[in-house]
Amino acid sequence: MRALLRTDIVVARLLVMCIFLPDRLQVLASVGACVYFVFRTLGRKEWPPRQNFIAALALGSSFLLYIGAALITPASHRREAFSLCERMLSFLLMPFVFAIMSQYFRQLIAGQLRYFVYGCIIVSAMGIADFFYHHFIVNGGKVPMSHVELRNIFENFTGIHPTYMGVYLGFAICITGIMWEPASKRQAMLKNVTIYTLLLFLLSLFAKSPIIALGIIAIHFLYERRGQLRRFAVPGAVLAGVVGAACAFIPFVRQRAGEMLGLFGENTEDDLIQNSVHMRRLIWNTDVTLLKHYWLTGIGPGRLLEALHLRYFFHSLYSGYWVGYFDPHNQYLSHWLSFGIPGILVLVITLIIHLRRAVAAGNRLYLYLLFIIVITFFTETMLARQQGVLFYSIFTALFFFLYSPSPALPTGRQAPPRRGGKF
């Protein structure tokens, strides 16, 4: 029995950490863990209520849009459409897995979220260490540090896009701040050091949307504790010091912060390629122009990238220099352009369902996860990559069904208790 419990814990840790594995191993680890927990639930002779399956179908309804669009896509683009369906499969699979899964195993998985934090620290440290290796050893430190160089080397080494890593780090900060209940001053200090470390990694990558989301989360967190603000005076001062030091002494943090000034005016020294803010203006204008033609029914997910690439090609000819190809860089516009009005409605309604459940459950971690996702959707097509789809599917489905009606645990079977002071 103890060996089986240890196996349960190991598989739960694998599921929350599979995000950091290479793509094929991600699939193998996530599918293997899901199959394991489903069979373990059936072995306990527990069966979920019917409303769980209805909820799972509602949460995964975007996948049904992809299937329907693929079936009516012209043959010339059908391969791309079905490729997207394959990538989006976990969008439907995970809600059904957690709908079937025993509440015992949901609680067990939620109790292992600290391993997601460990994964963020390890991967971030390795990626930034590889950047320093290339900058100082391989290139001899002959050129100034650049945030473009950092982001490219980080992604090449870890296989994770810096914005996605920023989302992971933002969620890891929330996990650490909410789930870690220190029982001593030493543990409180260690908790704060962990948060500052995660924040320093996030500032180094300077993924703008997760940072904005964390700012909103901090405001909400302090508002809820507005009668106890004195307790956060020292941690807040240290936090401000960490942010200030990062901006003052980390070159690529200053560079990315300087880019943000492009939102408030033009900088003639920044060209379209090097300044991501200027580039996003081009992406936004291109998306909106295309949306004017396909706002009602959409162009279809299999044809969307081709239509965008064609517009960027002619923009390059007009500008006299190559601007590259880009996806919509906005999950809401991506759904709208792909499926028209039904697509954007399904996505927004799904997020509202999650937000209502988070508020009703009173779970701040669930709510803050949704804050990060909702805000990042404005600047990133997060569900265009397997890493984003898997992250979204696993954690939103976990929290949703963690607070759903489910059969009582068999007598004598309880989820592992939380112990004070443990992370």
Do residues 53 and 65 lie in contact, with contact meaning Cβ atoms separated by under 8 Å?
no
Q: Is residue 296 part of a domain?
A: yes
Overall domain count for the chain: 2
User: Looking at the structure, do residues 231 and 312 belong to the same domain, yes or no?
Assistant: no
User: Looking at the structure, do residues 138 and 230 belong to the same domain, yes or no?
Assistant: yes
User: Looking at the structure, do residues 334 and 254 belong to the same domain, yes or no?
Assistant: no
Q: Which of 229, 263, 297 is the last residue of a domain?
A: 263
User: Looking at the structure, do residues 374 and 329 belong to the same domain, yes or no?
Assistant: yes
Q: Which of 209, 236, 263 is the last residue of a domain?
A: 263
User: Looking at the structure, do residues 294 and 359 belong to the same domain, yes or no?
Assistant: yes
Write down the pLDDT at residue 416: 45
Instruction: Note down the domain range covering 210.
Output: 114-263
User: Looking at the structure, do residues 185 and 236 belong to the same domain, yes or no?
Assistant: yes
Q: What's the pTM value of the predicted model, to 2 decimals?
A: 0.90
Q: Is residue 26 part of a domain?
A: no
Do residues 342 and 361 lie in contact, with contact meaning Cβ atoms separated by under 8 Å?
no
Q: Is residue 353 part of a domain?
A: yes
Write down the pLDDT at residue 9: 97
User: Looking at the structure, do residues 303 and 174 belong to the same domain, yes or no?
Assistant: no
3-state secondary structure the chain: CHHHHHHHHHHHHHHHHHHHCCHHHHHHHHHHHHHHHHHHHHHCCCCCCHHHHHHHHHHCHHHHHHHHHHHHCCHHHHHHHHHHHHHCHHHHHHHHHHHHCCHHHHHHHHCCCHHHHHHHHHHHHHHHHHHHHHHHHHCCCCCCCCHHHHHHHHHHHHCCCHHHHHHHHHHHHHHHHHHCCCCCHHHHHHHHHHHHHHHHHHHHHCCHHHHHHHHHHHHHHHHHCHHHHHHHHHHHHHHHHHHHHHHHHCHHHHHHHHHHHHHCCCCCCCCCCCCHHHHHHHHHHHHHHHHHHHCCCCCCHHHHHHHHHHHHHHHHHHHCCCCCCCCCCCHHHHHHHHHHHHHHHHHHHHHHHHHHHHHHHCCHHHHHHHHHHHHHCCCCCHHHCHHHHHHHHHHHHHHHHHCCCCCCCCCCCCCCCCCCCCC
Q: Is residue 380 part of a domain?
A: yes
Separation CA 233–CA 214 (nearest Å): 18
Do residues 59 and 356 lie in contact, with contact meaning Cβ atoms separated by under 8 Å?
no
Q: Is residue 228 part of a domain?
A: yes
User: Looking at the structure, do residues 128 and 179 belong to the same domain, yes or no?
Assistant: yes
User: Looking at the structure, do residues 339 and 301 belong to the same domain, yes or no?
Assistant: yes
User: Looking at the structure, do residues 303 and 250 belong to the same domain, yes or no?
Assistant: no
Instruction: List all residues 6 or more positions away from 180 whose beta carbon is below 8 Å from its beta carbon.
Output: 114, 187, 191, 194, 423
Write down the pLDDT at residue 264: 52
Write down the pLDDT at residue 263: 52
Tokens of 119: 């994964």
Q: Mean pLDDT of successive 10-residue segments in the chain (423 residues)?
A: 92 97 94 96 89 95 93 89 90 95 95 97 96 90 81 94 96 96 91 93 90 94 84 79 74 65 51 62 92 94 91 84 85 96 97 96 96 96 92 97 61 43 53
Q: Is residue 79 part of a domain?
A: no
User: Looking at the structure, do residues 151 and 234 belong to the same domain, yes or no?
Assistant: yes
Q: Is residue 161 part of a domain?
A: yes
User: Looking at the structure, do residues 118 and 171 belong to the same domain, yes or no?
Assistant: yes
Separation CA 104–CA 416 (nearest Å): 8
Write down the pLDDT at residue 268: 45
Q: Is residue 4 part of a domain?
A: no
Instruction: List all residues 6 or more positions away from 358 whose beta carbon is below 8 Å from its beta carbon.
Output: 366, 367, 370, 399
